[in-house]
């Protein structure tokens, strides 16, 4: 009897420990990766709203576009919020990540900046123009330049156009491909650069006042909230999306960024 009692006690203790461990794991805050700047600021508001619904969030900031997806795929993050779907699709194709979009977040119309000219028409022949070196954002900028009449691209190039797809370049613009985060620093050395809004704002540039040209608001580059494929149907994802799509967060975006960042939901 004594031996049986000890066994039952041990089993009960093990069950209690297992339950406590499960409860502890559930109580841990979600780790959400963002890039520094607007994405981080917006998620501070999402965090406040989510806490009212019992969802704790830990925000993890990154300084580039590559690491947040790598960290999410490796299980070091639970979600990330910093990219648009064409970029995610390219990463999934190139790296085999099992990552999926679960919601739209915001749109950052990309801007063109210069310390040497105030209008794209003023660019001289052979002007050196900075563009992001990742395929999706580089292609995005080339499409903007085509819309603005500076270049023409092969029709079949699509969203992943590269400088090799340029078929008409009257000003003989020389494209300088740099990491997106480095583009604000390129303004002293180049004639103009296309800079993603989050990096522009982080560098003290005002897209509304400082950009000499901007992407149309109608674009396929609305940003997204991303999780691992295995997590997409979990209850915390629903709560996270609900918090991001709340009226409080929408109002914050509208008042804080005044059109530089647009709610995409």
Write the pLDDT tens digit of every residue in 126-141: 999 999 999 889 999 9
pLDDT for position 160: 86
The pTM for the full model equals 0.73
pLDDT tens, residue by residue, 107-120: 988 999 999 999 99
Residue 15 scores a pLDDT above 70:
no
Domains of the chain and any CATH numbers:
28-108+221-263 (3.40.190.10), 111-214 (3.40.190.10)
Adjacent-strand bridge partners of 70: none
Predicted local confidence at residue 21, as pLDDT: 36
Cα angle: 41, vertex 70, 130; to 5 degrees: 65
- Looking at residue 25, its pLDDT comes to 43
pLDDT at residue 56 is higher than 70: yes
Distance between CA atoms of 117 and 204, rounded to whole angstroms?
19
Q: From start to end of the chain, where are the E strands? A: 30-35, 57-62, 79-84, 99-104, 106-107, 111-113, 128-132, 152-153, 166-168, 174-178, 192-195, 213-214, 223-228, 262-263
pLDDT of 38: 93
Q: What is the mean pLDDT of residues 78-98?
A: 96
pLDDT on residue 164: 96
Mean pLDDT, the chain, as a whole number? 90
């Amino acid at each position: 009897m004594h031996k049986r009692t000890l066994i039952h006690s041990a089993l009960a203790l093990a069950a209690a420990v297992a339950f406590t461990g499960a409860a502890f794991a559930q109580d841990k805050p979600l780790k959400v990766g963002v890039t520094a700047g607007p994405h981080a600021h917006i998620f501070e508001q999402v965090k406040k709203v989510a806490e009212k619904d019992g969802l704790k969030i830990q925000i993890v900031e990154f300084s580039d576009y590559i690491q947040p997806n790598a960290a999410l795929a490796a299980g070091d993050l639970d979600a990330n919020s910093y990219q648009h779907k064409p970029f995610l699709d390219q990463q999934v194709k190139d790296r085999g990540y099992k990552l999926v979009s679960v919601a739209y977040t915001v749109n950052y119309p990309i801007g063109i900046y210069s310390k040497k000219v105030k209008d794209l028409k003023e660019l001289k022949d052979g002007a050196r123009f900075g563009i992001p070196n990742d395929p999706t954002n580089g292609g995005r900028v080339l499409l903007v330049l085509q819309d603005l009449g500076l270049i023409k691209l092969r029709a079949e190039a699509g969203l992943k156009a590269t400088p090799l797809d340029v078929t008409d370049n009257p000003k003989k613009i020389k494209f300088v491909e740099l990491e997106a985060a480095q583009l604000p620093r390129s303004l002293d050395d180049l004639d103009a650069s296309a800079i993603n809004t989050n990096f522009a704002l982080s560098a003290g540039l005002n897209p509304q006042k400082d950009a000499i040209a901007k992407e149309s608001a109608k674009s396929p580059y609305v940003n997204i909230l991303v999780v691992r494929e295995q997590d997409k149907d979990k209850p915390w994802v629903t709560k996270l999306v609900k918090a991001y799509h709340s009226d409080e967060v929408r109002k914050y975006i509208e008042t804080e960024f005044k059109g530089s960042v647009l709610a995409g939901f």
